[in-house]
Amino acid sequence: MRSWWGGRAGRPTVPAGDAGAAPGPGLEPRPHAATAPDTAPGTTHAPGPGSELHAGTAAEPPPGTGTAPVPHGLPETDAHLPRLGFVGAGRVGTALAVALRRAGWPVPAVASRDPARRDRFAALVPGARAYAEPQAVLDQADLVFLTVPDDAVAEVAAQMRLYSGQAIVHTSGVLPSSVLAPAMAAGTEAGSFHPLVAFAGLEAALAALPGSVIAIEGDEPLLPLLSELAEALGARPVRMTAAGKALHHAAAVLAAGGLVALLDTIRELGVAAGLDDAAALDTYLDLARQGLDHAGALGTQAALTGPVVRGDLGTLRAHLGALQDRAPDALPVYVALVRRAVAMAMARGDLPADRAAAVLALLAALG
């Protein structure tokens, strides 16, 4: 089977009413959903144990159509596009599948050990058939998304064996694509596809994908297709190296959960200052938004303000004393941020070396 990613220069289109037309130059018809990509003509690939269809899956397609009925308002899939299979039907996999299916990409199969998740995925993604075991998805997909928790990626990949011409990607932010090596065979490709989106809920994730960043990494021939998939979601693809993924993910964690943790520290200080718990965070949110906007517009160094920039030792001393007495758990956070602000203010040229040394000595005196 020919790969779907080599030399892709854009999404080919199928004229309306001509979905069964012969593919253009360089594209081959996809095998029937029940046929393995590398089986001999006239034969089929027998499904392995656990690959049978389960209750709650999508209905069989009408005779002669090859696809399940498409609900009103949902775009027909483009027969020239690679079929996308999903292994894992949690928040990330379900949201990506729904978004890509709405964008016109075919999503014929999903595998999950959780029956409730299988049923929900099949209900949300028209035409998707649900299985218990991951190998069954390979009989119906050209590109497989492995959307399982990071710690399970290598284990699940070891249960799969790609056919020549197929590709597989995971959605981990920290793992390189090389972790998928156990599933690889000759003529296959691997990558990673990590949306910088908080998948707290389906509708929120679907709303957040357009305009987001998706970090892609992996085998070079596959990257143009991954970029195309990101753009189909309305996102911006950013290429990463395998060596840079852990730091990239650490930055992403700080930008999301780390920022929330900082906001909780701010809330704690507001409560300690006498504000009502329900109103404490809201008191400072507008100021936080201003800081984010200024950092985005001016850059972080130019956006830095506060007593560190001025070298205001009296203010800093008052802050540290109050934190020690009334909010000791927040003190290490404050100290770490002051140290960072000292370095930024010095790099900007606003904080003389002697004042910077005095600020750092004040912090060191805390023990």
pTM for the whole structure:
0.75
Q: DSSP strand E in the chain: where? A: 84-87, 109-111, 129-131, 143-146, 167-170, 189-195, 213-218, 236-239
Measured CA to CA in angstroms, residue 234 lies from 67, 237, 286 at distances of 26, 10, 28
Between CA 266 and CA 257 the distance in angstroms is 14
Confidence band for 278, pLDDT divided at 50, 70 and 90: confident
Mean of the pLDDT values across residues 220-235? 98
Confidence band for 367, pLDDT divided at 50, 70 and 90: confident
Q: Cβ distance 207 to 190 under 8 Å?
A: no
The pLDDT, as a whole number, for residue 6 is: 53
The string of pLDDT tens digits covering residues 244-270 is: 999 999 999 999 999 999 999 999 999
pLDDT of 306 > 70? The answer is yes
Mean of the pLDDT values across residues 316-328? 97
The pLDDT, as a whole number, for residue 3 is: 59
Mean of the pLDDT values across residues 305-334? 96
Mean of the pLDDT values across residues 162-168? 97
Mean of the pLDDT values across residues 126-144? 95
The string of pLDDT tens digits covering residues 152-162 is: 999 999 999 99
pLDDT of 226 > 80? The answer is yes
Tokens of 3: 């790969």
Tokens of 179: 């972790």
Nearest to 37 by CA among 147, 144, 162, 157: 162
- Looking at this protein, which amino acid is placed at residue 279? A
Confidence band for 76, pLDDT divided at 50, 70 and 90: low
The string of pLDDT tens digits covering residues 10-64 is: 333 233 333 333 333 222 333 333 333 333 333 333 333 333 333 333 333 333 3
Contacts of 242 (CB under 8 A, 6+ apart): 176, 177, 178, 217
SS3 277: helix
The pLDDT, as a whole number, for residue 75 is: 57
The pLDDT, as a whole number, for residue 197 is: 94
The string of pLDDT tens digits covering residues 186-211 is: 999 999 999 999 898 999 999 999 99
Confidence band for 74, pLDDT divided at 50, 70 and 90: low
User: From the CB of residue 133, how many other CB atoms can be counted at a distance below 10 Å?
Assistant: 18
Tokens of 256: 């999301």
Whole-number percent of the chain with pLDDT over 90: 77
